[in-house]
A and B are shown apart, each in its own frame.
Chain A
Amino acid sequence: MATALLEVKNLSVEFSGFKAINNVNLKIEEGEVRVLIGPNGAGKSTIADLITGKTKPTAGSVFFKGVDITGKSPDEIAGKYKIGRKFQGPNVFDNMTVYRNIEIALSGYTTVWKSLFYRRTTEIKKKIKALLEQIRLYEIRDVMATELSHGQRQWLEIGMVIAQNPSLIILDEPTAGMTAEETFKTGEMIKELLGEHTVIVVEHDMDFVRQIAQTVTVLHQGRVLAEGTFEEIEKDPQVIQVYLKDD
């Protein structure tokens, strides 16, 4: 059995006494779409932080394509191991145009030397144009990111993550603060991604999860509570209890 794309082995992290993540094990296969759900404070975003190197774990390890990347710096994980991360509130470059936001995210030119001699070849221009059309922002490519609507800023950041052509994409609540229509469109956009990339989505919006999920992992108080298809999860009494909090 080929080694999993991403494997998290008994991972834990403690913030001054409080165990935010408690001995979590995860295995994500190449091309899979894994959704992490769970009530607030379950540790969903913390897992994303641990994988992408934003926070260092206190125990356990993260393997990517069989290589131990635990505790490596975010720029190495993003650049060398090609793990792209979309943050919760859209996290883009405000006073740069849509076009420049995508261009800066293009992978392959991240060292000082390469960035000095980068040329915007026609091939790159075609690639950016296709990407901008995919996230429906091509017509407003020379508008500053600050002036986009909330949904459009989320799409811009999704576009930036794709521009990194990562082998693993982590999306942190991509539909937060979106209208129902924008949520649906984002679902379509992400489904287009699924072919070429493995995607981990951290999400609250159940309709959205139903729309895209293959396997769902439910986290509760830093532990994996349940794992399975959306239908299984929906019927799992433990999950319902946690969600209705009538413990």
Chain B
Amino acid sequence: MEKTLKKIPINRWIDMLAFVFILIFPLLGFKQFRVDFMCQVVAYIIFAISLDLLWGYTGLMSLGHAVLFGMGGYMIGICFQIQDGAPAFMTREGINEVPSFFLPLKNETVAFIVGLLLPTAFAVFLGFFIFKSKVSGVFFTIITLALAQIAKDFVANQQAYTNGFNGLQGILRYPVSGEPLSKIAYYYVVAAVAILVYVFCIFLTRSRFGKVAVSIRENESRVKFLGYNPAKFKIVIFAISGFLAGLSGLMYAPAMSSITIEEISVTASTFVLICIAVGGRGNLTGAIVGTLLIQWAKVLLSEQCANYWQLILGVILLLIIFFMPQGIIGKIINVQYSIKTRKSKEKILESEENISSVSLNNKQGDEEYGNSFTGG
């Protein structure tokens, strides 16, 4: 195995750097609210990785991914709301007893598991309908767009069950033996989960399964003629992506100690798209670095010029699309690729020269060349 250090792609080094930065961040003496925000950003990294699997690797652009994220968040949110009987927003609506279908959520682990399985099941349901039909990719994007809009309206409308516009507050950081985890402890829990998800996705994307996903993105019709059923692969990828999105919601809500409809809307879904587009899609690193850059830019910019930051974000996105379509990390990977293959590309040019040179001289001798062959 000549897996020398030089062979490791450059972006994996950047991943390690990013995770080291995340791990030492609380020790760098930043104010607590900065550390709290970084905790949310790390949860968002898991969310961005889940969408990169779907969009970056498999080419399925979802504009409603935040709905799956929200399913995770709301499950754990409801869990902590119903710990001691019907919460205020229910009693106000005249529901004094916790509805039966919410009862199982009272138990933290059950809520966590439901927060993972619900988005996965929903992804399989949606995937079954869309991927099995002969419909082009753009319809998937439109359906998920509609999904995000309707989910937001639905949750906002169910005042009695989801506390509507003001969302669910008081989400604790997974109390173990009675006491919720300290902020710093929870920070490292989220960081650990993020690293685990990252390692899992490295395995997934390097496996043949991941390569099939990439080939589906590159040329889905061709893949069928190699014996693969792309619909099955896409449903499984969408399910995994849904699972991880649910997980990121389950990590995010306690870090934020609340979850509102803003976090599951079209804006939230498209915001994570921008993070991946700026970072670069289809290599995981882009999702990590993109989320770190854009989330922090959003916070720092909106502190300085609250009204302008969205304008600046729009302009940045336009610049990236026109001048760096494959994103920051994509650009770096391309540079490494062209260095690495410079040698073998010379071989192509050489082989091309000798091909054309050969065909040059054989052009003069076209006659004898032709006959000598048919005789054989």
Bound complex: CA A73 to CA B209 (Å): 21
Interface pair B347/A139, CB less than 8 Å apart: yes
Q: Report the minimum CB–CB distance from A202 to chain B (whole Å).
A: 15
Interface pair B208/A152, CB less than 8 Å apart: no
Chain B residues in 8 Å Cβ range of A96: 211, 214-215, 218
Q: If A92-B222, A181-B355 touch, does A143 touch B348 (CB 8 Å cutoff)?
A: yes
Chain B residues in 8 Å Cβ range of A104: 208, 211-212, 215, 223, 226
Bound complex: CA A84 to CA B225 (Å): 7
Chain A residues in 8 Å Cβ range of B96: none
Chain A residues in 8 Å Cβ range of B232: 111-112
- Interface SS of chain B: helix
Interface pair A112/B236, CB less than 8 Å apart: yes
Bound complex: CA A116 to CA B347 (Å): 34
Bound complex: CA A220 to CA B363 (Å): 32
Q: If A91-B219, A115-B208, A118-B208 touch, does A164 touch B362 (CB 8 Å cutoff)?
A: no
The listed residue (A78, A147, A151, A182) touching B345 by CB distance below 8 A is A147
Q: Report the minimum CB–CB distance from A106 to chain B (whole Å).
A: 9
Bound complex: CA A114 to CA B209 (Å): 8
Bound complex: CA A182 to CA B219 (Å): 25
Stretch at the interface among B15-23, B72-80, B150-158, B336-344: B336-344
Interface pair B358/A181, CB less than 8 Å apart: yes
Chain A residues in 8 Å Cβ range of B355: 149, 151, 179, 181-182
Interface pair A118/B207, CB less than 8 Å apart: yes
Q: If A75-B227, A75-B229 touch, does A115 touch B222 (CB 8 Å cutoff)?
A: no
Chain A residues in 8 Å Cβ range of B228: 75, 79, 110
The reply on B94 being an interface residue by CB < 8 A is: no
The reply on A39 being an interface residue by CB < 8 A is: no
The reply on A148 being an interface residue by CB < 8 A is: yes
The reply on B136 being an interface residue by CB < 8 A is: no
Chain B residues in 8 Å Cβ range of A144: 337, 341
Interface pair B207/A78, CB less than 8 Å apart: no
The reply on B224 being an interface residue by CB < 8 A is: yes
Q: Report the minimum CB–CB distance from B108 to chain A (whole Å).
A: 31
Q: If A74-B225, A105-B226, A179-B356 touch, does A115 touch B219 (CB 8 Å cutoff)?
A: no
Interface pair A211/B212, CB less than 8 Å apart: no
> Size of chain B's interface in residues, with CB distance under 8 A?
40
Interface pair B348/A109, CB less than 8 Å apart: no
Q: If A118-B207, A140-B348, A143-B341 touch, does A78 touch B224 (CB 8 Å cutoff)?
A: yes
Q: Closest residue of chain A to B347, judged by CB? A: A139
Chain B residues in 8 Å Cβ range of A207: 370
The reply on B122 being an interface residue by CB < 8 A is: no
Q: Which of B224, B225, B359 has the most CB of A within 10 A?
A: B225
Chain A residues in 8 Å Cβ range of B359: 179-182
Residues 99 to 148 of chain A near chain B (Cβ within 8 Å): 100, 103-105, 107, 109-112, 114-118, 136, 139-144, 147-148
Q: Report the minimum CB–CB distance from B235 to chain A (whole Å).
A: 9
Q: Report the minimum CB–CB distance from B337 to chain A (whole Å).
A: 7
Q: Which of B222, B226, B370 has the most CB of A within 10 A?
A: B226
Chain B residues in 8 Å Cβ range of A95: 214, 218
Interface pair B224/A115, CB less than 8 Å apart: no
Bound complex: CA A95 to CA B208 (Å): 16
Q: If A92-B222, A110-B228, A142-B341 touch, does A149 touch B207 (CB 8 Å cutoff)?
A: no
Apart from A75-B230, A115-B233, A148-B348: 15 A-B pairs, beta carbons within 8 A: A75-B229, A92-B219, A93-B219, A93-B222, A95-B218, A96-B211, A100-B211, A104-B211, A104-B223, A110-B226, A112-B233, A115-B211, A115-B212, A140-B344, A143-B345
Can you sample 17 A-B contacts with CB below 8 Å? A85-B225, A87-B225, A91-B222, A96-B218, A103-B208, A104-B223, A109-B208, A110-B228, A112-B236, A115-B233, A140-B348, A144-B337, A149-B355, A180-B363, A182-B359, A210-B374, A211-B374
- Enumerate the 9 nearest inter-chain pairs by beta-carbon distance, A residue then B residue, closest first: A79-B227, A181-B359, A118-B208, A110-B227, A115-B208, A74-B224, A93-B218, A78-B227, A115-B209
Question: Interface on A for B, CB 8 Å cutoff?
Answer: 52, 54, 73-75, 78-80, 84-85, 87, 91-96, 100, 103-105, 107, 109-112, 114-118, 136, 139-144, 147-149, 151-152, 160, 164, 179-182, 184, 207, 210-211
